[in-house]
Amino acid sequence: MSVSPAGPDSAPLTALREDLRFHPGAPAGEGAPTWLVYDPPAHRYYEIDATGLALLKAWRAGLTPAELAARAGSDLGRAVAPAEVAAFRAFAEQNGLAAHPGGWAAQAAQLAAGRTGFASWLLHNYLFIRIPLVRPQAFLVRTLPYARRLAGGRSLGAIAAAGLLGLLLASRQWDAFTSTFLHFLSVEGLGGYLAALVVVKILHELGHAYVAVHHGCRVSTMGVAFMVLVPVLYTDTTDAWRLRDRRQRTRIDAAGILVELGVAMLATLAWSFLPEGTLRSTAFFLATAGWAMSLAVNLNPLMRFDGYYLACDALGISNLQPRAFALARWRLREWLFDLGDPCPEAWSLERRRAVLAYGFAVWLYRLVLFTGIAVMVYAMTFKLLGLLLFAVEIGWFVAAPIWREAAFWWRNRARIDPAGRLRMTAGALALLLVLLGLPVSGRVEIPAIAEPERSARLTAAAPARVEAVEVGAGAAVAAGQVLLRLASPKLEHEIAMARTKLDLIAFRRDRRTADALDRGASLVLDREFAAQRETLAGLERRREELVIRAAFDGTLAELEPDLQPGRWVGRGEELGTLASNGRRQVRGLVAEDGLRRLYAGAAGTFVPDDITAPSLPVTLASVSRAAAATVEIPYLASHLGGPVSVREEKGVGPVPVEAQYTAILEPPSDGLRLSGSPAVMRGVVIVSGTPESLAGRALRRVVAVLVRESGF
C-alpha cells in the first residue's frame, strides 16, 4: 500500500525563531487583551489575540497541526478549528517567525531566489520609496528636556494667546491679509514658500519623534520617502506598538499636526508685524495654506498617514486597513455566493458595519487615487515610459486585486450552489449588463447664450470728451437717433486750421484776375483748393463719427454707468450696446461627447441661468464641422464665469480644454423676444438627441483616447 506525501497544511511544524520577543499589547477596541511578537532584525511588531498566543505557547518543532490544535485548545478551554491553525501557520511562515524546513541555508537561498534586480524593484516600488537619512535617538534623548519645556502648559498657553492675538490683528486688515498670496507668484516668493515648507515638515516629524521618546519609545530612523517621486519626510515610530495605553499612541499620531497648528498660530501673529516682502508671504503661507493642506492630507483616514493611525487607535483596531479589506472580501463573497465561511473578526454588529463601510470606502478611494496617479505619471513622462508606468500602476494596484479575487471564486467554484445565491447574483449581473447596453436618454446639454439677432457695440472712434448723453440705458431708439455726443478739442483745432487754409486758397483764387503771380499759378491753386476741401471734409466726417447714432431700431441695452459730460474716453473704448428689438438667436458650444447624438432639427429647450426668466423652445439648426480653435462666445468661457473650461494662450486667446463645436439653434417665430430682459442671457439648451447606451458611450470615449494617444 502506498502512502501519499503529507500536504503543506499537514506537514510537521518547524521550530520558532529563538530571537523573537513577546510583549503585552494594548487592549483591543472592545477590551479584549492582545500580545505583541517583536522581530528584532526587521524591527517589526505583530499583534496577536488570545488564540494566537495559545498557538505560540503550544508550538513545538515536529508537532502536527492536529496536535498543535489540541494543545492550544486545552489552554484556551475551547476547540481550535483546523482553519485557525492553518491560517496562523501561514502567517508565521510568511513573516519568517518560524524556521524554514530546510534550515537557514535553504531559507537564505529562498530569499535570494525571490530577490529582484534594481530595475524590477524600482518598477514595482516607484510609488513609495523610503530612504533613511539619520538615526536620531541619541539627539532626541539629549534635547528632550528642551522639547518638554516648549510643550509645557505655559508655552502652550503663550502660543494659544499669540494665535488669538494674531487672528485679531489679521481680521482688522483682512484685505491686506488675503492679498499677500500674490507674492508667491515671484521667484523670491516661491523660494520662501519651499523653504517654509521644508522647515514646517521637519518640525512636524520632530513633533512625532519627541512625543515618542517622551513615552519611552525608540525612534530608529528619520528620512525622506518618495511618493510618486514627490519627496516627503517620515519618522519611524514603530516602537510605539509597545505602548499599552492607546492614548499615548494617539498623542504620538497627533503630535505632528499639533506642531503645525502651533507654527500657524505664531506665523499669524508674525504676519502683522513683518514688512511687505518674502518673509511676510512666508508667514502667510505658514498661517493658512501650510497647515490647511497638512490637515487635508494628514487627517485623511483613507490614506496611510496620521489620520489613519489616529483612526486605528480611536477604534482600538490595529492594522485597520488589512482587516477591513479581509472583512469586506468576506462580506462580498457572502453577498454574492453565500459560501457560509465564518466572519474573520469576532466583533459586534455595530463595529463590523463601521469597519465594512471603511473598507468599501478605501476600495473606492484607492480606485480613484491610483487611476489618477496612473494618469499623472503618464502625463509627466515621455509617452512610451508613461504607457509602461500607467500599465504597471493600473495592473498592480487595480487589476491585480480584482484578478486575485476572481481566482479565489474560481478555486471555490465547487462550494457555490448553482441553485442558491449564484442564481440571484447571475440575474443581477445580467440585469446590470442589460442596463449598460440599453440605449437610455439622449439628453444633451449645450451651454449657450440667447442674444439679439442684431447687436452693435458703441465705441469711441478717437480720444474724445463726452459732451452729452442723449438717452439712458434701456431706452428704445430709432435708426439714426443720436445716443452720445463726443468732442475732440484737437480735432476742432485741426478743422479750424483746415478752414483757414481753405479760405486763404479761395481768396487767392478770387484775385487771380488782378494778380499776375496767382494767374500763373491758377492750376496749382485749383488743385490745392480741391485737396484742402477734401481734407476739411475728412476732418468733418471724423467729427461726425464722434456723434454716436443708432444704426438700427432697437434698445440701448447697456450703457457705461459713469458716462458723464466732461469725461474723457479713449479710442475704441466700449461705451454701450445697442440691441435690435426682434427675435433672439441662440448660440452654444457642444462638447465632443455629445456631438454624435445630435441631428439637425432636434428639439430642445433653452433654460436661462436667471431663474426669473422663462424657458423657451428651440430647434437645432446646425453644428460646425470643425472644433472651435478659440471660444468665440466669451460669456461661456470659464475665465469669465462660464461653464466651458478654457486655458489662456498668449497671442491666441481662450482655448477650450476639450474640443467644442459651435451650435446654432433657432427659436420659434414668436419666441425669445428682447423686452424686459438683458441683451445677452446665458443658460443651457437641453436637446433630445439620439439615445446611446452607457457602455457604448464609455467604449467610444476609450477608443477616442486610444486613437488620440496612439502616436509616439
Tens digit of each residue's pLDDT (9 = 90 or more) over 695-711: 777 777 777 666 666 66
pLDDT at residue number 7: 46
Judge whether residue 375 has pLDDT over 70: yes
Tens digit of each residue's pLDDT (9 = 90 or more) over 408-443: 888 888 888 777 777 787 888 888 888 877 777 778
**Relative orientation angle of helices 421-437 and 694-708, to the nearest 10 degrees:** 60
pLDDT at residue number 163: 84
Residue among 491, 494, 488 nearest 532 (CA): 494
Instruction: Count CB neighbours of 651 within 10 A.
Output: 4
Diameter over CA atoms, the chain: 154
In degrees, rounded to 5, the angle at the alpha carbon of residue 202 between the alpha carbons of residues 199 and 207 is 125
pLDDT at residue number 416: 80
pLDDT at residue number 374: 80
Judge whether residue 669 has pLDDT over 80: no
- The pLDDT of 97-116, averaged and rounded, is 59
- 134 Rama class: left (phi>0) / alpha (psi -120 to 50) / beta: beta
Q: How far is CA 308 from CA 317, 323, 496, in A?
A: 11, 13, 84
Judge whether residue 371 has pLDDT over 60: yes
Residue among 475, 476, 469 nearest 553 (CA): 476
Tens digit of each residue's pLDDT (9 = 90 or more) over 605-655: 898 888 888 888 888 888 888 888 888 888 888 888 888 888 887 777 788
Q: Is the dihedral of CA 52, 56, 62, 66 positive or negative?
A: negative
Highest mean pLDDT among 186-195, 217-226, 289-298, 367-376: 217-226
Residue among 30, 31, 34, 47 nearest 348 (CA): 30
Residue among 645, 657, 620 nearest 442 (CA): 620
- The pLDDT of 84-91, averaged and rounded, is 83
DSSP letters, 267-320, are HHHHHTTSPTTHHHHHHHHHHTHHHHHHHHHHT-TTTTSHHHHHHHHHHT-SSH
Q: How far is CA 587 from CA 345, 580, 581, in A?
A: 61, 17, 18
Mean pLDDT, the chain, rounded, equals 80
Tens digit of each residue's pLDDT (9 = 90 or more) over 473-527: 778 788 888 888 888 888 888 888 988 888 887 877 776 666 666 565 677 777 8
Lowest pLDDT segment from 329-333, 396-400, 509-513: 509-513
Q: Distance between CA 479 and CA 549 in Å, rounded?
A: 8
Residue among 419, 404, 387, 449 nearest 665 (CA): 449
Q: Which residues contact 557 (CB under 8 A, 6 or more apart)?
A: 452, 455, 473, 474, 576, 577, 578, 579, 674, 678, 679
pTM for this structure? 0.65
- The pLDDT of 661-676, averaged and rounded, is 68
- The pLDDT of 270-294, averaged and rounded, is 76
Instruction: Count CB neighbours of 631 within 10 A.
Output: 23
pLDDT at residue number 328: 92
DSSP letters, 671-694, are ----TTS-SSEEEEEEEE-----H
- The pLDDT of 78-103, averaged and rounded, is 78
Highest mean pLDDT among 83-87, 157-161, 295-299, 425-429: 157-161
Query: Would you place residue 5 in the very low, low, confident or very high pLDDT band (cuts 50, 70, 90)?
Result: very low
* pLDDT above 90 as % of the chain: 6
